[in-house]
Amino acid sequence: PAHPRTPEHHDGTVEFREVTFAYPGAEAPVLDGVSFTAPAGKTTAIIGSTGSGKTTLVNLIPRLYDATSGEVLVDGVPVTQMDRATLTRAVGLVPQKPYLFSGTVAENLRFGRPEASEDELWAALDTAQATDFVSERTTGSGEDVRTGLESGISQGGTNVSGGQRQRLCIARALVARPRVYLFDDSFSALDVTTDAKLRAALGEYTQDATVIMVAQRVSSITEADQIIVLDEGKIVGQGTHHELLDSSETYREIVDSQITAEELA
């Protein structure tokens, strides 16, 4: 924007007002009349079947796309009227398909805050449950052996496993200390124990921040302050786990399908 608006408060509140979105060239909207507030200091979880619009919704916040109609606000200001650097600082996205750049582990972690100290990098790795594998990591050979934070990452992060890549991307978001954390299905490649440990440790970073968390597993969001149920781009339920068990048929179906699947397993 030529004349960016300065937010009046900086708590990280995210608000959607009647947001409709269609991908360029597509006629049918992927999000339809979506309105909700994700308050600061709280966790808002988003659940819904594949293709229901969860990633699309999250991607509108850092402006990977702009709403077709309606408004997305951060700190009370429409994101389209915010200074780009201010928005980038405010919002930390861990994308569903996490991506690493060629370079070292440390360079990847410092992407959002180049001045972060080594202690801060290790603290973020600790929280992301990544300390063990990073400290044991060695790349290169001969004269060029590099270990730990200085070990090498290949383009796209192809020399780490999917779960390791996911944890490095979570650590990268933590190092940046944004006011809004967006986790798009960031815990699904983790086993249930690591998932639980990571979420317990996150509080240190996220207690005053706004957290929006897309999840597949109901078990990972039962403690969320509010859960939004998406179905074909519309909000069909909103509330806590227990409220939704009473009020939302779609939520009950998701819960039932997972309980059955787990019992069968």
Ligand X SMILES: Nc1ncnc2c1ncn2[C@@H]1O[C@H](COP(=O)(O)OP(=O)(O)OP(=O)(O)O)[C@@H](O)[C@H]1O
The contact set with Mg ion (CB under 5 A) reads: 54-55, 96
Does 53 contact ligand X by CB under 6 A?
A: yes
Residues 6+ apart with CB under 8 A from 172: 94, 108, 109, 111, 112, 124
Q: How far is the CB of 23 from ligand X (least distance, A)?
A: 4
Q: Residue 230 has which token pair? A: 């998406």
Contact between 48 and 71 (Cβ < 8 Å): no
**Angle (CA) 19 240 128, round 5°:** 85
> What mask of x and - would describe binding to ligand X in positions 191 to 230, judged by CB under 6 A?
----------------------------------------
Residues in Cβ contact with 247 at an 8 Å cutoff, skipping those fewer than 6 apart: 237, 239
| Residue 229: φ, ψ to 5° | -100, 120
Q: Are 19 and 70 in contact (CB under 8 A)?
A: yes
Residues numbered 33-52 forming contacts with ligand X, rule: CB under 6 A: 48, 50-52
- From the list 55, 86, 108, 164, which residue makes contact with ligand X (rule: CB under 6 A)? 55
Number of residues this chain uses to bind ligand X (CB under 6 A): 12
C-beta of 56: minimal distance to ligand X in Å?
A: 3
In the three-class reduction of DSSP (H, G, I as helix; E, B as strand; rest coil), residue 36 is classed as: strand
Identity of the residue, 51 or 140, whose beta carbon is nearer to ligand X in the bound complex: 51
- Is residue 240 a contact residue for ligand X (CB under 6 A)? no
Partner from ligand X, Mg ion, none contacting 261, C-beta within 5 to 8 A by type: none
Phi, psi of 32 (to 5 degrees): -140, 105
Which residue is it, tokens 């928005």? 87
Per-residue binding string, ligand X, 13-32, x by CB under 6 A, is ----------x--x---x--
For ligand X, the binding residues (CB under 6 A) are: 23, 26, 30, 48, 50-56, 96
